Structure 1
Amino acid sequence: MKNSILIAILILSNWAIAQEKKMSKSAVIVFEASVPSFEEVKATNKNTTMVLNSKTGEIASLALMKGFRFKVALMEEHFNENYVESHKYPKALFKGKIVNFDANALTENPKEFIINGKLELHGKTVMLNVPAKIRKSGSGIHLVSKFIVNASDFDISIPSVVKNKVSNKINIQLDAVLN
């Protein structure tokens, strides 16, 4: 009898903890480093993993660098080999916390939040404060964010041959539904 009660308590506590974690394995990151009048420098990664602890507001995201797809295959090759060196630095990792997050207060109308955290990319870590719009979505949470980082902050150098064709300022968009 005691064993049955103990097992039931363990199952219920695991279920309660699992309810706090919201996750997506198909979050989308789009980055663009285009310069006006030149070819578009834009890539999309549709297989980003994101986890949100809906009780604490802690959030983490992992994107594999080789998961970014460009319209032009040669750009993708240069991106992986010359810029982010994905053989040495295969992933980008973000860990942070949503300021004043309360999952119970979310509605279908987006609310604006700030996410404080650190982005690890290309062997460097940069502290970020990024805006996010977060809303309730079906059985999950929908998060959208747009922000800018500088390639130079991550020691990603743009060769002088293409310096006027590729921006140091990288526009990043993130879209995730966490269930």
Structure 2
Amino acid sequence: MKRACSKFYHLVKMTNSEQHVTIENNKYRHMKKITVLALLLISLSALAQSKYLTKAGSLDFEASVPSFEEVAAKNNSVTAILNTDNGDFAALALVKAFRFKNALMEEHFNENYAESDTYPKATFKGNISGFDISIEDTTKSIDGSLTFHGVTKEITDISITIKVVDDKILLSGNFKVLVSDFDIAIPKIVANKLSDEVSVDFNFELAKK
């Protein structure tokens, strides 16, 4: 009888011990999952904080010739994103969102020159050299590639003004491109009214993504 009781006691003790180990293991696994999840959330948060975005950037271009009608347009719905960790920058504009003062000129631009039904987007991808978000007001340069009318051209050393105001990053600048660089043919009948050199101005107010 004593031997049976002893065996029963040891069996209960072993069972309790195994249950305790199982509970501890479950606690460990649970804590491990919580830790991994917390680290993941911190990483995602840090990643999100390094991206600044706008969907209301402005892009203006002008290809006017003196003494003739102004050839200029404005797009106020440009999407742009900046990675403050490494200075990578990208922008996208819908070609049909460019607005001209002259409706007929806008129609000709989309149908005969930009061919926006075939090439609906213009994009720019580049890098701001030496970007530092801790500097509130500075001028840097950006190199990148501009794609328009199905053609991609490298553009280098674009001067860009950078300001940090109220947790927003303001980017502005100007560069020039040639119409002929993007396989756009200008009819002879209007060749003297339209400049081959196009001046492009950009302004972006980016907020944390």
Match of 1:119 among 130, 143, 146: 146
Q: TM-score normalized by structure 1? A: 0.96
* TM-aligned CA deviation for residue 164 of structure 1: 0.8
CA offsets 1:8-28 (integer angstroms, 9 cap, x no match): 111111010000101110010
CA root-mean-square deviation = 0.8
* Aligned pairs for 1:27-42 within 5 A: 27-42=57-72
Q: Equivalent residue of 1:120, what SS?
A: strand
Equivalent residue, structure 2, for 1:49: 79
Q: Equivalent residue of 2:64, what SS?
A: coil
Say yes or no: does 1:173 pair with 2:201: yes
Q: Equivalent residue of 2:74, what SS?
A: strand
* TM-aligned CA deviation for residue 35 of structure 1: 0.6
* Counterpart contact for 1:62–1:92, Cα < 8 Å: yes
Equivalent residue, structure 1, for 2:155: 128
| Whole-angstrom CA distance in 2 between matches of 1:117 and 1:57 | 12
Aligned length: 176
| Whole-angstrom CA distance in 2 between matches of 1:6 and 1:101 | 32
Say yes or no: does 1:25 pair with 2:55: yes
Equivalent residue, structure 1, for 2:26: none
Amino acid at match of 2:176: I
Identity of aligned residues (%): 47
Runs of 4+ with >4 A deviation: none
Equivalent residue, structure 1, for 2:43: 13
Equivalent residue, structure 1, for 2:23: none
| Whole-angstrom CA distance in 1 between matches of 2:38 and 2:96 | 44
Q: Equivalent residue of 1:153, what SS?
A: helix
Q: TM-score normalized by structure 2? A: 0.82
* TM-aligned CA deviation for residue 59 of structure 1: 0.4
**Between Structure 1 and Structure 2, which shows a larger proportion of helix residues?**
2
Q: Equivalent residue of 2:188, what SS?
A: coil
| Whole-angstrom CA distance in 1 between matches of 2:108 and 2:172 | 28
Q: Which has the larger radius of gyration?
A: 2
Amino acid at match of 1:101: F
* Counterpart contact for 1:22–1:51, Cα < 8 Å: yes
| Whole-angstrom CA distance in 1 between matches of 2:178 and 2:96 | 20
**Between Structure 1 and Structure 2, which shows a larger proportion of strand residues?**
1
| Whole-angstrom CA distance in 2 between matches of 1:28 and 1:156 | 23
Equivalent residue, structure 1, for 2:169: 141
* Counterpart contact for 1:27–1:48, Cα < 8 Å: yes
Structure 1 residue runs of 5 or longer lacking an equivalent are none
Match of 1:86 among 116, 127, 150: 116
Amino acid at match of 1:120: T
Equivalent residue, structure 1, for 2:15: none
Amino acid at match of 2:149: H
| Whole-angstrom CA distance in 2 between matches of 1:78 and 1:120 | 20
| Whole-angstrom CA distance in 2 between matches of 1:168 and 1:157 | 10
| Whole-angstrom CA distance in 2 between matches of 1:156 and 1:145 | 24
Structure 2 residue runs of 5 or longer lacking an equivalent are 1-30
